Amino acid sequence: MEKFIIEGGHALQGEFTPSGNKNAALPILAATLLTDEPIILHNMPNILDVIAMKNLLESLGVNIEELNENSWKIQAKEISFKNLDPDLCRKIRASILLAGPMVARTGNLILPPPGGDVIGRRRLDTHILALKKLGVEVNYDRSFHFSAKSLVGADILLDEASVTATENAIMACVTAKGQSIIRNAASEPHIQELCHFLNKMGAKIDNIGSNTLHIDGVNKLHGCEFTIGPDYLEVISYVGAAAVTKGEITIHNAGNQYLDMIRLVFQRIGVVWETKGTDLFVPKDQPLCIEPDLGNAIPEISVMPWPAFPTDLMSIAIVVASQSKGSMLFHDWMYPSRMYFTDKLVGMGAQIVLCDPHRCIVQGPTQLFSENLESPDIRAGMALVLAALSANGTSILRNIRQIDRGYEKVEKKLSILGARITRE
């Protein structure tokens, strides 16, 4: 099993460019099933989840040619309905994204239960309800059976603003007959990218970026060339790494247009940055002081659907708060296992009280010390990398394939910035 050896106490210095957004790349890859014409995608992140999705598409008959490490030519000219490998589907939750485009293109799909991070129950009901509104029949017998003779546009009210359910609904609607409206739609940057990609293929999607999407179905989509935008989760992870190591870095093409709310939240835990065009600059001298609420009350950071603070950055924010002066309550109501990695931080010396599966209180700053660790999921794994970078001594972090699922070349990028990290 591969592991990271991390010697803490070295300030990050330098500059780097983030990889493409994993959460945009996965639905865009699924959407290539909607046309038989070639598609060229640039800035594809070279990570395990994307490779797993590539393998799933190839198992359906899609031809994928790697033009270079981060550019692919994809053509779903002749795809066949067949049973997918259950082990492959269990590797990523994004396998559910095959449902919308496969039913729209072929009328059928048998999908084994999708996998993903173990951060609590992640319901699929919203996907099924949305697809049923369009005329899809869904049955479950150890696998999901999706079938439809034709899809007809509908007024779809999602019972929760689920990201992947919104993406599935969008992909099913773009070639459905007539007009569709998706209400209570999620609007994260990766959903906006999916919509722009589909429009470039000939789809007609309006109100992109809002929670009400209007889609006029078209008969056929065509090929196109598209560049995946920067991964804002990676950007903020490296902002956090610079802050906890008292470093100074510049991030090129940072996607600043999506960072306003995240910036407000990180200011509350004492982290600031400057924007310089499309670049983001993290200065060395950070306040690292938590802002109390009015009346000197303990402030709270709670995750909410976009454009509020995203759940995927909760773990990073907790580590940063452990190095900031003051107390902060963190609340993630979405996933009941998101907070469980905090026991590893406590073992490193952090002062954290786990109130319940959804809430914890962090008191900082505290000196962290090296520890033998294991990555429980993508985001907690990266958060533990940050903790190890700021710790006194050399830490060992195992199960790093979890991190490789969402972050490209972590040890190489951090080493360029001056971190002492090796993969063994």
- Would you tell me how many other CB atoms lie within 10 Å of the CB of residue 248? 18
**What's the CA gap between 314 and 303, in Å, rounded?**
8
Angle at 18 between CA 12 and CA 22, to 5 degrees: 130
From residue 325, alpha-carbon distances to 70, 287, 314 in Å are 41, 9, 18
b/e per residue 401-423 (b: at least 16 CB within 10 A): ebbbbbbbbbbebbeebebebee
For the segment 137-159, the average pLDDT, to the nearest whole number, is 91
Judge if 3-19+230-423 and 22-227 fold alike in CATH terms: yes
Whether 43 has a pLDDT exceeding 90, the answer reads yes
**What's the CA gap between 60 and 83, in Å, rounded?**
9
Domain spans of the chain? 3-19+230-423, 22-227
For the segment 113-127, the average pLDDT, to the nearest whole number, is 62
For the segment 75-103, the average pLDDT, to the nearest whole number, is 85
For the segment 58-79, the average pLDDT, to the nearest whole number, is 94
Determine if the peptide bond prior to 189 is cis (ω within 30°).
Answer: no
pTM confidence score:
0.94
For the segment 242-259, the average pLDDT, to the nearest whole number, is 97
pLDDT band of residue 86 (cuts 50, 70, 90) is confident
pLDDT band of residue 80 (cuts 50, 70, 90) is confident
Given this structure, which CATH class describes domain 22-227? alpha beta
Contact 144/111 with Cβ under 8 angstroms? yes
Whether 255 has a pLDDT exceeding 80, the answer reads yes
Give the least confident one: 123-127, 143-147, 275-279, 323-327. 123-127
Whether 399 has a pLDDT exceeding 90, the answer reads yes
Do β-strands 3-7 and 394-398 pair in parallel, antiparallel, or remain unpaired?
A: antiparallel
Whether 345 has a pLDDT exceeding 50, the answer reads yes
Which tens digits make up the pLDDT trace of 188-232? 999 999 999 999 999 999 999 999 999 999 999 999 999 999 999
* pLDDT at residue number 89: 81
Element (H, E) at 16: strand 13-16
49, 85, 87, 117: the active-site residue: 117
Q: Where are the beta strands (DSSP E) in 211-370?
A: 212-216, 225-227, 248-251, 274-276, 279-282, 300-302, 326-331, 351-356, 359-364
Phi, psi values for residue 59, rounded to 5°: -70, -20
Contact 266/317 with Cβ under 8 angstroms? yes
pLDDT band of residue 83 (cuts 50, 70, 90) is low
- 293 tagged catalytic: no
Whether 119 has a pLDDT exceeding 60, the answer reads no
pLDDT band of residue 118 (cuts 50, 70, 90) is very low
The number of helices, as runs of H, and strands, as runs of E, in the chain is 14, 23
pLDDT band of residue 123 (cuts 50, 70, 90) is low
- Across the chain, mean pLDDT equals 94
Which tens digits make up the pLDDT trace of 413-422? 999 999 999 9
pLDDT band of residue 120 (cuts 50, 70, 90) is very low
For the segment 31-37, the average pLDDT, to the nearest whole number, is 97
pLDDT band of residue 64 (cuts 50, 70, 90) is very high
Residues forming beta bridges with residue 155, ordered by sequence position: 181
* pLDDT at residue number 214: 98
b/e per residue 136-149 (b: at least 16 CB within 10 A): bebeeeebbebbbe
- Would you tell me how many other CB atoms lie within 10 Å of the CB of residue 76? 23
**What's the CA gap between 252 and 277, in Å, rounded?**
9
Identity at 316, one-letter amino acid code: I
Domain 3-19+230-423 has CATH 3.65.10.10: yes
Q: Give the torsion through C-alpha atoms of 29, 33, 39, 42, to 10 deg.
A: 0
Between residues 222 and 285, the one the model is more confident about? 222
Task: Outline where 149-231 has alpha helix (H).
Answer: 163-173, 189-200
Determine if the peptide bond prior to 299 is cis (ω within 30°).
Answer: no
